[in-house]
Structure 1
């Protein structure tokens, strides 16, 4: 637990780093653009659906329906989309953290080619969608409880985020093919849970993936050091 808290504290302290801010601006901008375009597409899609079904609905009804569906989709898919977008800039965050805190080790890291970054992003996106869809029936059963569905999705995303956020740094040092991620499962779960919970908070959810990627880098280096994967 101490390693996770220390990693989050170090990551929070580096949020003002220009390199981190650049990644935050790009990832937030692209994520927002994706949802805006999806919202526009949803509006015109509903318009076409209403016309096909011969339902009479004015522009306000179509817009209201689009907004309601978009809000639900945003709540459900934000973590998935934001993390997939962040995967493309993961190297920049890891490099910024390593240059500031682990300058000697930064020189040993191997930059991932675009093809591998894309593959990692698509695999992560697939895992996130699959696990969240599998969790839907369980959440549906608990829909009448006060916090059941939220707890189910929080646990699922804690597991997913813990892996993705530590893999971002680990893959740069693990060789090819990569070895097993040295971060303890309990530590990954705690980190993923903290970031998943932060993603439920308005506005904080915009920087939560960045904070998680930086903290995941610290946690990975700490784990590698403890297991003798790197020199002191």
Structure 2
């Protein structure tokens, strides 16, 4: 039987821990700050575009400020909806050490202290590679999704499957990279469990407000799956 449901329940139960709660607050604050900064840059950029004579000539007099605000709002909301999980997980990479340590301390005392924090340069590298994987895999999925548009739900299923694969890997890698001693390809969590975890986190990210919790819940659950395997190996 899959250990994913139990891992998710344990992760949800630990949201009240001070260490996990601190990561949640910090990661959400930084993620929202990134989107706020990007939104401000978008708004200012639209102002420059709308001041261009050729563009301004197409708009009714005095309509430019309203067009700027409306365009910034629509584009900003769309970007938040489609890119939230990408940015949130990239941000969480910089706090993953704290999530792993908190789960170890509460549930796996025999493994506590064994995780090795990643240097900043390594954290940046992991975050960037994660971003590139998301962009690359979703671009590869576009033609398939386009073919399946006639089925109505086909594109949604395709992108859910792709992002489940990506999320499952990222959420378990947060713990594995801190325990792997250089063997990054040896993630002990099976592909099926990674996919189920990723699908659960992807589903949470579709729910307003729950999407703010989803990255931390996924990271904690992924840590449980990795440490459960490592603990089992240590007992043999």
Q: Which TM-score band (shorter chain)?
A: over 0.9
Secondary structure at the aligned position of 1:106 is classed as coil
Structure 2 residue corresponding to 1:202, chosen from 208, 218, 230: 208
The CA distance in 2 between the partners of 1:58 and 1:24, in whole Å, is: 39
Counterpart residue number, 1:213: 219
User: Counterpart of 2:13?
Assistant: 13
Is the contact made by 1:157 and 1:192 (CA closer than 8 Å) also made in structure 2? Answer: yes
Partner of 1:168: 174
Q: What residue number does 2:37 align with?
A: 37
- Change in CA separation of 1:184 and 1:202 when aligned onto 2, cut-off 3 Å: same
Structure of higher CA gyration radius: 2
Query: How many pairs does the alignment contain?
Result: 230
Kindly state the Cα deviation for residue 179 of structure 1 after the two structures are TM-superposed.
Answer: 4.5
* 1:100 aligned residue: 106
SS in 2 for 1:62: helix
Q: 1:47 matched to which residue of 2?
A: 47
Give the TM-score of the pair, scaled to structure 1: 0.93
Would you say the 8 A contact 1:198–1:204 is kept in 2? Answer: yes
Q: State the TM-score, normalized to the length of structure 2.
A: 0.91
Secondary structure (helix, strand or coil) at the match of 2:163 reads: helix
Provide the residue aligned with 1:224 in structure 2.
230
Whether contact under 8 Å (1:80, 1:129) holds in the other structure is: no
Q: Distance in 2 between matches of 1:64 and 1:144?
A: 31
Is there any run of 5+ residues in structure 1 with no aligned partner, and where? none
Please provide the CA RMSD for this pair.
1.7
